[in-house]
Amino acid sequence: MIIKILGSAAGGGFPQWNCNGLHSANVRAGKPGYRARTQSSLAISANGSDWALLNASPDLRQQINDTPALHPSVDGGLRNSPIKAVVVTNADVDHITGLINLREGQKFSIYGSDRVLATLNANSIFNVCAPENVPRIAFALDRPTQLTGAGVDLGLTVEAFAVPGKIALFLEKGGEKENYGSRDGDTIGLKITDTATSKSFFYIPGCAEVDPPLAERIKGAELIFLDGTLFTDDEMVVQGLSHKTAQRMGHISISGPNGSIAALKPLSIARRIYVHINNSNPVLDENSEARRIVDSAGWEVGFDGMEVRL
């Protein structure tokens, strides 16, 4: 199985269009130790020819251009694409907007929870992926679903499971007691398994905490890509970028007693990679103390173009 990080940044990307914070300003100025990042997406393939995307970011056109494996085959028809399926983990704009780039009558499949697909159905702009060419397939949680698209069996299964999280910001309703309108399945993690080799990995780009059921599920895994949005719970508040904590945004922080380094330490996961990294996160500076802490803890910081084989 081949896994490519197409985009390793959280919503807004790195730099973010309107951000003059320390890290966005530094990467824009070309400061050493920084690299630009597009928004949150992975591409996966069992055979190297047929691919599924995990989330479709607003930067998808640029990500496809930058990834030769996702170009049309020069030996294929006038219109062809190796992208056969897209799996979306929530309805955040950084995870669904890229679908709008996948128009032009190409056949592929969209997989998501019924709650996320309902958001696509409620927004007519997603009809550029016309349902007669692009079926929208709701998967049940906690059960492996075989990925197929455009008549191709991808040789991969995806098992979606609910994780502690939050509804997409643009769908939030008032009333803090209501958890902003979130319900189970608004945010999901994925377990991807190569049918032939039985190798598997976890992809959880948004997650508010590693609670006991999640810890149990990922224990002993060979590989995980996890929500690395923020390093400390209050970093956006401290940097003056927002009044919201990581928890309020539905993201676990990397550091601290309840952070992901601590939570995954006892779980014997062989390879741990952060994705969905926000422009406020000090790990974006390769020379930072935060980065040293992450490195020392045996974690990796994902970057655009990173490839893992399993």
Report the interface residues with a copy of itself, using CB under 8 A.
Answer: 11-13, 15-21, 24-25, 28-29, 36, 38, 58-62, 64-65, 71-74, 76-81, 93, 96-97, 100-104, 106, 119, 122-125, 127-128, 169-171, 239-241
List the structure tokens of 46: 């069992």
What are the beta bridge partners of residue 203? 190, 225
Nearest residue (CB) to a copy of itself, 234 versus 300: 234
As a whole number of angstroms, the distance between CA 199 and CA 204 comes to 17
- Give, rounded to a whole angstrom, the gap between the first and last alpha carbons of the chain: 5
Question: What minimum distance in Å lies between the beta carbon of 60 and a copy of itself?
Answer: 8
Helix (H, G, I), strand (E, B) or coil at 260: helix
Q: How far is the CB of 124 from a copy of itself (least distance, A)?
A: 6
To a copy of itself, the closest distance from the beta carbon of 80 in angstroms equals 6
Cβ nearer to a copy of itself, comparing 239 with 258: 239
CB-CB contact of 203 with 225 (8 Å): yes
User: Is 24:279 a contact under the CB 8 Å cutoff?
Assistant: yes
Task: With beta carbons less than 8 A apart as the criterion, state whether 307 and 3 touch.
Answer: yes
Q: Which is nearer to a copy of itself, 21 or 135 (by Cβ)?
A: 21
CA 104 to centroid of chain Cα atoms: 24
| Nearest to a copy of itself of 62, 232 (CB atom) | 62
Cα–Cα nearest to 113, from 95, 91, 93? 91
The nearer residue to a copy of itself, 61 or 143, going by C-beta atoms, is 61
Does residue 72 contact residue 81 with C-beta atoms inside 8 Å? yes
Cis-peptide, bond into residue 15, ω within 30° of zero: yes
Residue 17 or 257: which CB sits closer to a copy of itself? Answer: 17
The nearest distance, CB 30 to a copy of itself, in angstroms, is: 12
- At its nearest, how many Å lie between a copy of itself and the CB of residue 101? 6
Order of strands across the sheet that contains 83-87: 136-138, 109-112, 83-87, 51-54, 41-45, 2-7, 307-309
In one letter, which amino acid is 303?
F
How many of the other CB atoms lie within 10 Å of CB of 256? 16
| Least distance (Å) between residue 301 CB and a copy of itself | 21
Q: Which amino acid belongs to residue 158?
A: V
Q: Which is nearer to a copy of itself, 67 or 145 (CB)?
A: 67
Q: How far is the CB of 70 from a copy of itself (least distance, A)?
A: 8
Distance CA(56)–CA(25), nearest Å, equals: 26
Q: How far is the CB of 271 from a copy of itself (least distance, A)?
A: 30
Bridge partner list, 39: 9
**Pairing mode, if any, of strands 109-112 and 136-138?**
parallel
Token pair for 110 = 């969209």
Supply the minimum distance, in Å, between the C-beta of residue 6 and a copy of itself: 13
Nearer to a copy of itself, 12 or 256 (CB): 12
Tell me whether residue 220 or residue 240 sits nearer to a copy of itself (CB atom).
240
